Structures are given as structure tokens and as C-alpha cells.
């Protein structure tokens, strides 16, 4: 099936004019619940009695701000995101509270989440609107390994969704190891994560065929021109390259925007999709050290700021034919 046929089918099955599907990704900056479940140092830190004093009130304020942001995006694009990838989620309870104790309850989202082995206890997850999809065909988490050893980092989440009356699509959510410390070791860990992503996408292409559609999204902790992305060039197309070349970004460091959150798609999709960075007005704040604005984060060091994330969300628009 051609990409044009795929878009037309999605337009019909989602019941919308114009854009046929809206996919979103957002790094949620340490989205922990407020209970110490005994899962480690970060779990204690982000609890009512921990160093961050992460109370139920603060947690619910963040949940409601996330909900408000998603509805703001709905107003901007004329529809709620059909699929939302998330990073830095502590557990399924966070997702349950987000989807059931806020205005998102009426939006009809469900979620896919696996507990991982990240040392800080944060995982990736996928939300999807139940009304738009016939079923989940397949879900799994992919460990990141190097020389036969499993790394203590976020696993890759793979979900195959079957939209109504159209072909299934493989969705892959990533949160690759950070640059903390700036060492060769951190680079090697990101290369291992990218290698795991490449192995997954290549195996999907071999099994599904050349016209099957793959969307990989995530916080890759690298910009599009960095070394680890070189290995993906024959597998997927990075939709963030043009934005990066124009100095656009999702996080701001020392007054400069950096693009580390991206969508990578199957090669036959590239002409029919567009990646955009979303700056939700009430989630931006003035950069007091440099000219301009930056994302309004939840914490700055140990200090509670009251925002949502140090990352801007990104969306992938499917343009109707």
C-alpha cells in the first residue's frame, strides 16, 4: 500500500478532515507519583517527605497542567493527539491518575507501560485514543544491550496499533541514555541504544515488507547530526533535521536551543508528514540569564518552580491527501 493510500484510509477511519492523524511526544521531566514505594533513591526523593517535597498537591497540579496542555494542543491542531509518547514516567499509577483524575478522563485515552530497570526508576509509555484504533496487535519492551550485557537504562517500547479500516503501524518510544558527565562511556551507551533501535526497525521492515509504516519517537539525548544517528540513515528518516538546521530546539541550555526530541519515520512517509515543536504559551517562561524564553520546568535543582517540563513537546502531523 502506498503512503497516499495509507493517509486516505487514516483520514476516513479517524473521521477528520485535513490532518489524518496527530502524534505527539513529550519528555515529562521526572513525572513521579508522590508516594515512596521503596523503589530506590529517586522514589524517596520524589515523595511527600523526600528532598523534593513532592506532595499530592504538586503532583495533581502537574497532572492538571499536562491535561490543560494537551487540550491546548487540541485547540491549535483541531483535534486531540491520537497517539502520545511519553518519557520520564515513574509507573502506571502516574498514567492512571493523569487519565482518570483530570479533564483527560473524557478524552478516552488508554496506555501501554512496562516497568523497566532504569537506575532512576523512569520509563517510557504510550497513550492512544481507544476510539480510533481497533486493537493493540503487539506490545513489548526492548532492552538495550552492549557486548551481551543489558544496560541499566530505559528500555525501548514497541507498540503495534491497528487503526480502524487501515493497515497497522509500528510505534516505537525511546529515551536514550543522557550525556551526564560528557564521557566516552555515555556516548557508547547512546550508541548501544541506537543500535537496539536499528535492529528493531530493520527486523520490522524485513517481516512487514517495504511499505509498512514505522514511527520512532523520543528523547535521543543527541542532536540530529551526532554520530549515533548515522547508523539510522538507511532505516528511517529523521524529521528533525530541517528544524535543527534552522536553530530550532526542544530544550534550552545556556541560552541556546538544542533539538534532542525527534520523530524518525519510514522512508516512504517523509513527504506526507511534518514534525513541529510546540511551545505552549503558559508552559514557557522568561530566561533570566539570557535573552528569550525557555520551557517552564517543574524543578530547577532542588527548587520547586511549578512548571511541567524542561522539554517542549513535539508533534508529527499527517497531511491529508
d(CA 3, CA 184) in angstroms, rounded, equals 40
- The b-or-e profile of 30-40 (16+ CB within 10 A means b, else e) is bbbbbbbeeee
pLDDT at 88: 98
Domains of the chain: 3-318 (3.60.10.10)
Reading the chain (321 residues) residue by residue, the pLDDT tens digits are 444 444 444 444 444 444 478 999 999 999 999 998 877 789 889 998 899 999 999 999 999 999 999 999 999 999 999 999 999 999 999 999 999 999 999 999 999 999 999 999 999 999 999 988 877 878 999 999 998 899 999 999 999 998 876 778 999 999 999 987 667 788 899 999 999 999 999 999 998 877 789 999 999 999 999 989 999 999 999 999 999 999 999 999 999 999 999 999 999 899 999 999 999 999 999 998 898 999 999 999 899 999 999 999 999 998 764
Give the whole-angstrom CA distance, residue 266 versus residue 268.
6
- Stated as kind and residue range, the H or E segment containing 100 is helix 92-100
Helix (H, G, I), strand (E, B) or coil at 108: coil
As a whole number of angstroms, the distance between CA 198 and CA 236 comes to: 9
The pLDDT score that the predictor gives to residue 182 is: 63
C-alpha cell at 168: 497497522
pTM across the whole model: 0.92
Calpha distance 317→25 (Å, rounded)? 12
| CA dist., res. 220 & res. 314, Å (int) | 13
Look up cell 550508541; give the residue: 191
Residue 36 has a pLDDT of 82
| Of the candidates 256, 252, 161, 166, the residue with the CA atom closest to the CA atom of residue 215 | 161
Ramachandran angles phi, psi of 274, nearest 5°: -140, 130
Amino acid at each position: 500500500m502506498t503512503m497516499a493510500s495509507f493517509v486516505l484510509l487514516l483520514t476516513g477511519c479517524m473521521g477528520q478532515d485535513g490532518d489524518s492523524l496527530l502524534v505527539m511526544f513529550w519528555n515529562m521531566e521526572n513525572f513521579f507519583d508522590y508516594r515512596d514505594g521503596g523503589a530506590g533513591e529517586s522514589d524517596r526523593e520524589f515523595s511527600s517527605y523526600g528532598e523534593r517535597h513532592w506532595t499530592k498537591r504538586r503532583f495533581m497540579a502537574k497532572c492538571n497542567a499536562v491535561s490543560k496542555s494537551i487540550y491546548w494542543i487540541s485547540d491549535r491542531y483541531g483535534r486531540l493527539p491520537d497517539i502520545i509518547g511519553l518519557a520520564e514516567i515513574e509507573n502506571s499509577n502516574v498514567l492512571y491518575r493523569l487519565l482518570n483524575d483530570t479533564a483527560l478522563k473524557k478524552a478516552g485515552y488508554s496506555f501501554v507501560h512496562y516497568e523497566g530497570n532504569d537506575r532512576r526508576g523512569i520509563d517510557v509509555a504510550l497513550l492512544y485514543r481507544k476510539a480510533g484504533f481497533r486493537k493493540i496487535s503487539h506490545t513489548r519492551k526492548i532492552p538495550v544491550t552492549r557486548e551481551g550485557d543489558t544496560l541499566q537504562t530505559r528500555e525501548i517500547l514497541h507498540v503495534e496499533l491497528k487503526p480502524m479500516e487501515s493497515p497497522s503501524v509500528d510505534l516505537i518510544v525511546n529515551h536514550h541514555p543522557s550525556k551526564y558527565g560528557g564521557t566516552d562511556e555515555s556516548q557508547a551507551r547512546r550508541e548501544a541504544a541506537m543500535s537496539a533501535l536499528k535492529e528493531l526497525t530493520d527486523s520490522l521492515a524485513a517481516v512487514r515488507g517495504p511499505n509498512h509504516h514505522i514511527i520512532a519517537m523520543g528523547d535521543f539525548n543527541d542532536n540530529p547530526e551526532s554520530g549515533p544517528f548515522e547508523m539510522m540513515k538507511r532505516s528511517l528518516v529523521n524529521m528533525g533535521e530541517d528544524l535543527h538546521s534552522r536553530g530550532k530546539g526542544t530544550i534550552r541550555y545556556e541560552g541556546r536551543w538544542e533539538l534532542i526530541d525527534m520523530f524518525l519515520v519510514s522512508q516512504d512517509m517523509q513527504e506526507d508528514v511534518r514534525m513541529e515543536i510546540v511551545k505552549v504559551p503558559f508552559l514557557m517562561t522568561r530566561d533570566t540569564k539570557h535573552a528569550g524564553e525557555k520551557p517552564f520546568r517543574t524543578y530547577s535543582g532542588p527548587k520547586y518552580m511549578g512548571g511541567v517540563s524542561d522539554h517542549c513537546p513535539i508533534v508529527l502531523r499527517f497531511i491529508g491527501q
